[in-house]
């Protein structure tokens, strides 16, 4: 069964009619398919059966605790980038050894927590970060497992905001700097070198840049070995692109074959940090049409103003990302028109979709597709809007995994006290 499909012209999530969920939870609401998440995980696992490999779900893609618990149950580890994400993995009872910590700006307190709980690996992104990790490890009397994140200066041919493996990007260090950092680490009793790391970008649609990056890492592993520095793993990062529209799919089979072939020759363990691949197409954002604002003339824009906005799904505004928009109920189709689907936020950058041909009336429910990755995570309270609820569908049942925010949630951190007058 597809995660989201139509039965009698009504969009269903895991077999449950979306209007049924909306009747209980309201809109805007994120709906996720547990089955899709599991299938994606298994598909990825199945492409890597011949080598020693491990999947570390990239928490930032969708960090809801129920989503993390689902992946933990499948045996996943977690790729984190903050103390908050570490706390989330702890909250779902993840073995800290199955956590790897990436990110250019790790704070001392985050490093301390990671050292205390005993995470599997710090993916170190600079010399000064290495110094700080050593300093914290000395203070705490610990040994830090590390890999150095290499920036191989490879163009992943994706949106510039999510490209991370070019020299101009802030991530990682060059191969020669990495060599220096490994040399510094080699004889330090507070450091345990465990791997080499890389992540060149996100929503990568071609295998070639990832292959090039792997070749680079394996070359480095070889050079290190010649200097008596042995690593146990190669972390190729995440980045596997998904289909949002009709773009040619990422050739996962080919990627798997390349990874297996190249890793088999070395006997090294492979780590992957996928986020989007596992969750993007397993989520939709359901929103309701509040108003229709018709253009005065043919060549002007018609606006469908909905109760979801850039605060709920930022990807269209931030990356000009294209998400398919479907009517939840495909009944009573009147004549279709071209619409910009926009939110209530006071910015012209607030749109969910532009120029979509849809047959709309006020009150229609719309599904913004492929919203399972970097949807709720990028949401905000701008315009004092409450974040949407999140629902997980599994085995013909649905459950609210995050309730809708209310105004009290938003005001609770502010300290204002009304004057007595």
Least separation, in Å, of the C-beta of 373 and ligand LLP? Answer: 6
- Residues in contact with ligand LLP by the rule CB under 6 A: 58, 61, 79, 102, 162, 199, 202-203, 237-240, 273-277, 315, 319, 374, 378
By beta-carbon proximity to ligand LLP, the closer residue of 323 and 385 is 323
By beta-carbon proximity to ligand LLP, the closer residue of 22 and 210 is 210
By beta-carbon proximity to ligand LLP, the closer residue of 41 and 277 is 277
Least separation, in Å, of the C-beta of 202 and ligand LLP? Answer: 3
- CB-closest chain residue to ligand LLP: 238
SS (H, E, C) the chain: CCCEEEECCEEEECCEEHHHHHHHHCCCEEEEEHHHHHHHHHHHHHCCCCCCEEEEEEHHHCCCHHHHHHHHHCCCEEEECCHHHHHHHHHCCCCHHHEEECCCCCCHHHHHHHHHHCCCEEEECCHHHHHHHHHHHHHHCCCEEEEEEECCCCCCCCCHHHECCCCCCCCCECHHHHHHHHHHHHCCCCEEEEEEECCCECCECCCHHHHHHHHHHHHHHHHHHHCCCCCCEEECCCCECCCCCCCCCCCHHHHHHHHHHHHHHHCCEEEECCCHHHHHHHEEEEEEEEEEECCCCCCCCEEEEECCCCCCCCHHHHHCCCCCEEECECCCCCCCEEEEEECCCCCCCCEEEEEEEECCCCCCEEEECCCCCCCHHHCCCHHHCCCCEEEEEECCEEEEEECCCCHHHHHCCCCCCCCCC
Least separation, in Å, of the C-beta of 70 and ligand LLP? Answer: 16
Least separation, in Å, of the C-beta of 369 and ligand LLP? Answer: 14
By beta-carbon proximity to ligand LLP, the closer residue of 127 and 377 is 377
Which residues are identified as catalytic?
Answer: 346
Least separation, in Å, of the C-beta of 114 and ligand LLP? Answer: 15
By beta-carbon proximity to ligand LLP, the closer residue of 61 and 178 is 61
């Amino acid at each position: 069964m597809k995660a989201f499909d139509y039965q009698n012209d009504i969009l269903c999530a895991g077999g449950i009619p979306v209007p049924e969920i909306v009747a209980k939870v309201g809109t805007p609401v994120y709906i996720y398919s547990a089955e899709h998440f599991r299938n994606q995980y298994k598909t990825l696992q199945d492409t890597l059966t011949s080598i020693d490999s491990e999947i570390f779900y990239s928490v930032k893609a969708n960090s809801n605790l129920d989503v993390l618990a689902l992946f933990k149950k499948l045996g996943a580890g977690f790729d984190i980038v903050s103390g908050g994400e570490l706390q989330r993995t702890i909250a779902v009872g993840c073995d800290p050894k199955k956590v790897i910590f990436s990110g250019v700006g790790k704070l001392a307190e985050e490093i301390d927590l990671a050292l205390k709980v005993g995470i599997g690996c710090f993916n170190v992104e600079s010399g000064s970060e290495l110094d700080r990790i050593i300093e914290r490890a000395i203070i705490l009397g610990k040994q830090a497992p590390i890999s150095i994140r290499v920036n191989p200066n490879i163009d992943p041919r994706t949106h510039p905001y999510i490209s991370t493996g070019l020299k101009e990007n802030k991530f990682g260090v060059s191969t020669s700097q990495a060599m220096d950092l490994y040399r510094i680490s080699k004889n330090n009793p507070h450091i345990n070198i465990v791997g080499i790391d890389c992540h060149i970008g996100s929503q990568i649609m071609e295998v070639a840049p990832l292959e090039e990056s792997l070749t680079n890492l394996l070359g480095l592993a070889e050079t290190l070995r010649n200097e008596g520095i042995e690593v146990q793993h190669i972390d190729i990062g995440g980045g596997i692109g998904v289909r949002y529209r009709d773009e040619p799919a990422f050739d996962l089979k080919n990627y798997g074959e390349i990874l297996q072939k190249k890793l088999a020759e070395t006997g090294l363990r492979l780590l992957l940090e996928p986020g989007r691949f596992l969750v993007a197409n397993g989520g939709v954002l359901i929103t309701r049409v509040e108003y229709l604002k018709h253009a005065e003339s043919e060549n002007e824009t018609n606006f469908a103003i909905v109760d979801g906005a850039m605060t709920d799904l930022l990807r269209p505004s931030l990356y000009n990302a294209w998400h398919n928009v479907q009517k939840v109920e495909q009944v009573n189709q009147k004549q279709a028109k071209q619409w910009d689907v926009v939110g209530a936020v006071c910015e012209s950058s607030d749109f969910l979709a532009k120029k979509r041909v849809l047959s709309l009336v006020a009150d229609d429910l719309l599904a913004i597709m492929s919203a399972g990755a970097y949807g709720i995570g990028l949401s905000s309270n701008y315009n004092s809007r409450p974040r949407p609820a999140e629902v997980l569908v599994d085995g013909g049942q649905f459950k609210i995994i995050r309730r809708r925010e209310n105004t009290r949630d938003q005001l609770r951190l502010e300290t204002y006290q009304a004057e007595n007058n």
